[in-house]
Amino acid sequence: MVPQESQAEQQPVFDYLVANVSKKDSGFADDTVKGSQYNQPLLEFSGSCAGCAETSYARLITQLFGEHMYVSNATGCSSIWGGPASVSPYTVNKDSLQGPAWANSLFEDNAEHGFGMQLGQKVLREQAIEKLGAMNESEKATPEFKAAFEKFMETKENTRTNTEATKALLVEVEKAAEAGCEDAKAVLDKKEYLAKKSVWIFGGDGWAYDIGFGGLDHVLASGENVNVMVFDTEMYSNTGGQASKASNIGEVCQFAAAGKEMKKKSLAEIAMSYGYVYVAQIALGANPAQAVKCIAEAEAYPGPSLIIGYAPCELHGIAKGGMNHCQDEMKKAVKSGYWNLFSFDPAKKEAGKNPFTLTSKEGDGTYQDFLHNESRYTRLVKPFPERAEKLFAKSEEVAKERYEHLQRLVELYK
Ligand SMILES: Cc1ncc(C[n+]2csc(CCOP(=O)(O)OP(=O)(O)O)c2C)c(N)n1
């Protein structure tokens, strides 16, 4: 890093790029790894720590659905880099000046807050659709209106295609309003709510696994179409690294100064037990294709979805490479069997297929190397060498059991 003033002569280049460079047709679908990277990120210049994994997940989600997103954000790192006082790193796109609508409620009621966003916009949207239905039945409905309404209804649940269909329909609604149609005027009053929205609930593991868990469970059980993204740093990062139920065996955190003894809670499986919740565990740096696929599947699933993303953090104290190699650390976590990649898609079950997909392989024997590269573990070695050895061995054993259990789930859901 160098002082900002010394780089000021580059400003015209930056301005040129911002003003003149437009989206190129990549030839790849938007919901693929390559295609998604041609989309404008609607999260930029956040105040996160360098290398923060949380921002890379949020940025990617905005590249897929940003223009249509409502985000409810739990208090935690993501509400701090996502909404520091007076500025916002979330932005709007160049063409329609649309971007994520973002709000932070509390640490403890984030799921409920996002649920309210979903219900509020759903009711307004349905009221507008009811009026459109009445217009469609009217003998005054033009063939153009009928065709546009049909297209709108066909794409009603698809976040991407419904936007264009809504635009075309609103042209016809405006014509009808000009001709004096009262229903059309009522629809125009709610036009912001007409296109399909993508409702997201963001938060850390302290929120999802612990403090906000009751609300999260309630919202997942509701069956409503919300998408939950958990940034799993395996600790309360924003308040200096307290242990959460996502922390792992042997991990040294505040309130677990001698290394946590209990294993990590399987939030994913609690959600899977409902059978109608889309669930995925991802790690962007380890398998970007699986991550993008799961995010797209979760968003497309017309019920509740929970994605848990492994998020290395400054506080993990990565020895080799530090946070410059955050994405590589995710790779190591998956390769060693420390973190598992899988998804449970109820839509597949409905189609007669196995809903459970186990993507990652068995650990490759580097589990202890993984632990020994992070100071949240190695901190235990000096003061308590024997305890460290015991807990690290237990952690590996539990990870093996967990993987075998996941393999059994593949058979169980067949
Ligand atoms: C009810 C309540 N308790 C405690 C806090 C203080 N607090 C703010 S952020 C935070 C930690 C958040 O941790 P996590 O959910 O894991 O997210 P991360 O910071 O790791 O992204 C805490 C304890 C709060 N804001 N509200």
pLDDT given for residue 85 in this prediction: 79
For residue 233, how far is its CA from the centre of ligand 1 (angstroms)?
A: 12
78 lines ligand 1 (CB under 6 A): yes
55 lines ligand 1 (CB under 6 A): no
Collapsed DSSP state (helix, strand, coil) of residue 284: coil
**Stated length of the chain:** 414
For residue 283, how far is its CA from the centre of ligand 1 (angstroms)?
A: 22
Give the DSSP H or E segment for 342: strand 342-344
- Strand-pairing partners, residue 69, are 198
392 lines ligand 1 (CB under 6 A): no
For residue 96, how far is its CA from the centre of ligand 1 (angstroms)?
A: 35
Q: Which residue's CA lies nearest to atom 2 of ligand 1?
A: 107
> What's the half-sphere exposure (Cβ side, CA atoms, 13 Å) at 98?
13
pLDDT given for residue 19 in this prediction: 84
The region that residue 385 occupies, defined by phi over 0 for left and psi between -120 and 50 for alpha, beta otherwise, is alpha
239 lines ligand 1 (CB under 6 A): yes
pLDDT given for residue 318 in this prediction: 96
Name the residue of 77, 228, 229, 238 to mutate for ligand 1: max ligand atoms within 8 A of Cβ. 238
Amino acid (one-letter) located at 240:
G
Query: Under a CB-based contact definition with an 8 Å cutoff, are residues 57 and 88 in contact?
Result: no
86: its two tokens? 């007076």
Q: Write the CB contacts of 95 (distance below 8 Å, at least 6 apart in sequence).
A: none
174 lines ligand 1 (CB under 6 A): no
CA–CA dist 102, 71 (Å, integer): 5
Query: Under a CB-based contact definition with an 8 Å cutoff, are residues 41 and 59 in contact?
Result: yes
For residue 206, how far is its CA from the centre of ligand 1 (angstroms)?
A: 6
341: its two tokens? 């990649």
Task: Give residue limits of the domains in the chain.
Answer: 50-85+104-114+196-412, 129-193
Query: Under a CB-based contact definition with an 8 Å cutoff, are residues 324 and 51 in contact?
Result: yes
Q: Write the CB contacts of 359 (distance below 8 Å, at least 6 apart in sequence).
A: 287, 290, 341, 342, 343
Distances (CA, A) of 24 to 30, 34, 129, 140: 12, 12, 35, 42
Q: Write the CB contacts of 247 (distance below 8 Å, at least 6 apart in sequence).
A: 234, 235, 253, 256, 260, 264
pLDDT given for residue 21 in this prediction: 81
Kindly give the parts of the chain with pLDDT less than 50. none
236 lines ligand 1 (CB under 6 A): yes
For residue 238, how far is its CA from the centre of ligand 1 (angstroms)?
A: 6
90 lines ligand 1 (CB under 6 A): no
Could you give the residue ranges of the DSSP H alpha helices within 21-109?
33-36, 53-65, 77-81
Query: Under a CB-based contact definition with an 8 Å cutoff, are residues 29 and 23 in contact?
Result: no
Q: Which residue's CA lies nearest to atom 10 of ligand 1?
A: 76
Look up the CATH number of domain 50-85+104-114+196-412.
3.40.50.970
231 lines ligand 1 (CB under 6 A): yes
DSSP-derived pairing of the beta strands 227-232 and 305-310: parallel
- Strand-pairing partners, residue 161, are none
Q: Where are the beta strands (DSSP E) in 192-331?
A: 198-204, 227-232, 278-282, 305-310
For residue 77, how far is its CA from the centre of ligand 1 (angstroms)?
A: 8
Placement of tokens 């002082």 in the chain: 3
pLDDT given for residue 20 in this prediction: 85
pLDDT given for residue 405 in this prediction: 98
Q: Give residue-wise pLDDT tens across range 1-51.
A: 899 899 999 999 999 988 888 888 889 998 899 999 999 999 998 989 999
For residue 210, how far is its CA from the centre of ligand 1 (angstroms)?
A: 10
326: its two tokens? 């955050």
Collapsed DSSP state (helix, strand, coil) of residue 337: coil
pLDDT given for residue 22 in this prediction: 80
Q: Write the CB contacts of 366 (distance below 8 Å, at least 6 apart in sequence).
A: 332, 335, 336
Q: Name which of 280, 306, 304 is nearest 294 in CA terms.
A: 280
pLDDT given for residue 355 in this prediction: 98
Name the residue of 46, 57, 73, 77 to mutate for ligand 1: max ligand atoms within 8 A of Cβ. 77
Considering the chain, what is the average pLDDT of its residues? 96
pLDDT given for residue 259 in this prediction: 95
Query: Under a CB-based contact definition with an 8 Å cutoff, are residues 155 and 167 in contact?
Result: no
CA–CA dist 324, 53 (Å, integer): 11
CA–CA dist 301, 295 (Å, integer): 10
pLDDT given for residue 135 in this prediction: 97
CA–CA dist 96, 66 (Å, integer): 12
Cα angle for residues 251, 255, 259 (degrees, 5° grid) = 25
209 lines ligand 1 (CB under 6 A): no
Please identify, by atom number, the ligand 1 atom nearest to the C-alpha of residue 212.
Answer: 15
For residue 129, how far is its CA from the centre of ligand 1 (angstroms)?
A: 39
Q: Give residue-wise pLDDT tens across range 183-237.
A: 999 999 999 999 999 999 999 999 999 999 999 999 999 999 999 999 999 999 9
48 lines ligand 1 (CB under 6 A): no
Placement of tokens 């068995």 in the chain: 362
206 lines ligand 1 (CB under 6 A): yes
